[in-house]
Amino acid sequence: MEMKLAPSMLSADFAHLSEDLRNAMQPGVSYLHVDVMDGNFVPNISFGPPVIRCVRRILPEAVLDVHMMVQEPKRFVNDYQRLGVDMLTVHAEATDDLEGTLQSIRADGMKCGAAVSPGTPVSVLEKVLPICDMVLVMSVIPGFGGQSLIPGTLDKIRELVRLREEKGLGYDIEIDGGVNLSNLDEVLDSGVNVIVAGSAIFGGESIPRNVQDFLERMEGKCC
Ligand code: DX5
Ligand code: ZN
């Protein structure tokens, strides 16, 4: 599987969003990770369509990986398609119709992902794995950037790697939350291939330097 880096714009400085995003989306960076929070599925509100429309204008070529932390996300699938979103990931815990939601994302021509919060077992995804382009494993409680990675969540990645092999499937596995340069090697050893990083990329002295450090460490790794 190809290794991919996805900076999470939740940790950008919204007072100069375009500058931060251009600094983060260096050559070699695969996706921009976009966290949509509704204040209901998670106890926080981030941003929605008006901001994403501007991001699409600033970065017309970027692959937008939208992580919907929203209750009943099926209501919004069509809106996000019209915004030019490439990939829409929804939480297993946020709907009783995960399969139907993923199918409607695909029907709208976007790639689809299914996400699990730390307390949710991988088994809830078993039925939908064949239609997933990506599975997102939350390694922190969803809702806020800057938390510490919960180590036990890496076992879920190993399980997803095993299931992918067993079933002959091709989904990407994305980890989201608390990844930084200190735990990156351990994270990569789990077999994950899409790395989301928010505070570790937008924090510190230099966004381009942070991105380069991540890319260098990920180069040559495969899973
Ligand atoms: C948390 C979001 C994450 C967050 C990651 O609910 O889904 O994408 O921005 O931020 P860090 O890397 O700082 O944990
Ligand atoms: Zn996220």
What is the mean pLDDT for each group of 10 consecutive residues in the chain (223 residues)? 97 97 98 98 98 98 98 98 98 98 98 98 98 98 98 98 98 98 98 98 97 96 74
At 223 the pLDDT is: 66
Q: How far is CA 146 from CA 95, 163, 207, in A?
A: 26, 30, 16
Torsion of Cα atoms, 223 then 160 then 170 then 52, to 10°: -90
d(CA 186, CA 196): 15
CA of 168 to the centre of ligand 1 (A): 30
Catalytic residue, from 20, 35, 38, 172: name it: 35
d(CA 97, CA 114): 12
Find out whether the beta carbon of 199 lies less than 6 Å from any atom of ligand 1: yes
Query: Is 176 a catalytic site residue?
Result: yes
